Amino acid sequence: QKEVEQDPGPLSVPEGAIVSLNCTYSNSAFQYFMWYRQYSRKGPELLMYTYSSGNKEDGRFTAQVDKSSKYISLFIRDSQPSDSATYLCAMSYSSASKIIFGSGTRLSIRP
Amino acid sequence: NAGVTQTPKFQVLKTGQSMTLQCAQDMNHNSMYWYRQDPGMGLRLIYYSASEGTTDKGEVPNGYNVSRLNKREFSLRLESAAPSQTSVYFCASSAGQGANQPQHFGDGTRLSIL
């Protein structure tokens, strides 16, 4: 079983919809949670970073961590075609340990 | 604002050939990383360098070697390429090691081993 599981998609939604992207994980020791966005033929870029449980909002993006369920989510409000990309969740045990990445969910926003 | 630059962008090799992937960053970062990305597998860490002069193995180091040439440059070498090493290779850098230091990625090297 992988430490971090992510539905590969593809997920296709109309412009303006609310998008929900999710990851589950098996090790309760994870403390740091990240979301990276990767456009086609490009490297990943950090989108959101949270520590422990709770929500974090940045513009149209909200990251949510539920440690009791070992489940993290990324919500995108008012989705735009420019949000079409692969979204990778990532997590780490501590501030000094290496990052474990999910395999990514491919998202397509239809105009 | 180049960030992380990887060369070459594409390469085709024959089984048994060797090659070196180059990576350079201009952000004065201490830590650098090499990942490979395969369909359904996500990013897997090959080697990393927490600071200049140090290198450590990641999750999938077999068949690879690295050199941290100086603070800016971190190269990845395949001594005897195998078809299983066909992948997209990403170099990344961060100010320090750890989850609270965002990693900045290059645009990848697409490597095909025949």
Question: Which residue of B42, B107, B108 is in closest CB contact with A104?
Answer: B42
Contact B100 A51 (CB under 8 A): yes
Tens digit of each residue's pLDDT (9 = 90 or more) over A47-99 = 998 888 889 999 999 999 999 999 999 999 999 999 999 999 999 887 667 88
- Position B46 scores a pLDDT of 96
Contact B99 A91 (CB under 8 A): yes
Question: Which residue of A6, A96, A101 is in closest CB contact with B97?
Answer: A96
What DSSP character marks residue A71? Answer: E
Banded pLDDT at A7 (limits 50, 70, 90):
confident
Contact B105 A95 (CB under 8 A): no
The sign of the torsion formed by the CA atoms of A3, A90, B89, B25 equals: negative
Banded pLDDT at B74 (limits 50, 70, 90):
very high
**CA-based nearest distance A95→chain B, Å:** 5
Pairing of strands A100-101, A85-92: antiparallel
- The Cα A10–Cα A40 span in angstroms is 14
